[in-house]
């Protein structure tokens, strides 16, 4: 597989993300996804509230 920084790659949730880093042995890459992802669920005033974050970076073994 020949990946370069800047290439498109799917994030773990299937969005179109961008490769931002590749390890020296090319076994791990980091992809940055501009879409929203569920970060955590917190309980507030008795209700569960979902906290989302975007521009997350994922490490993926390839």
8 A C-beta contact, residue 2 and residue 19: no
Asked whether position 11 contacts Zn ion by CB under 5 A, the answer is yes
Q: How far apart are CA 7 and CA 46, in angstroms?
A: 43
8 A C-beta contact, residue 24 and residue 43: no
Kindly state the DSSP code that residue 42 receives in the 8-state scheme.
E
Quote the least distance from Cβ 7 to Zn ion, whole Å: 15
Asked whether position 19 contacts Zn ion by CB under 5 A, the answer is no
Nearer to Zn ion, 49 or 53 (CB): 53
Q: Given candidates 8, 13, 49, 53, which one binds Zn ion under the rule CB under 5 A? A: 13
Query: Which chain residues interact with Zn ion by CB under 5 A?
Result: 11, 13, 15, 33, 35
């Amino acid at each position: 597989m020949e990946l370069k920084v800047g290439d498109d790659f799917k994030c773990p949730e299937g969005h179109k993300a961008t490769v931002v880093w590749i390890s020296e042995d090319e076994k791990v890459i980091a992809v940055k996804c501009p879409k929203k992802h569920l970060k955590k669920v917190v309980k507030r005033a008795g209700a569960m509230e979902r906290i989302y974050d975007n521009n997350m970076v994922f490490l993926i073994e390839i």
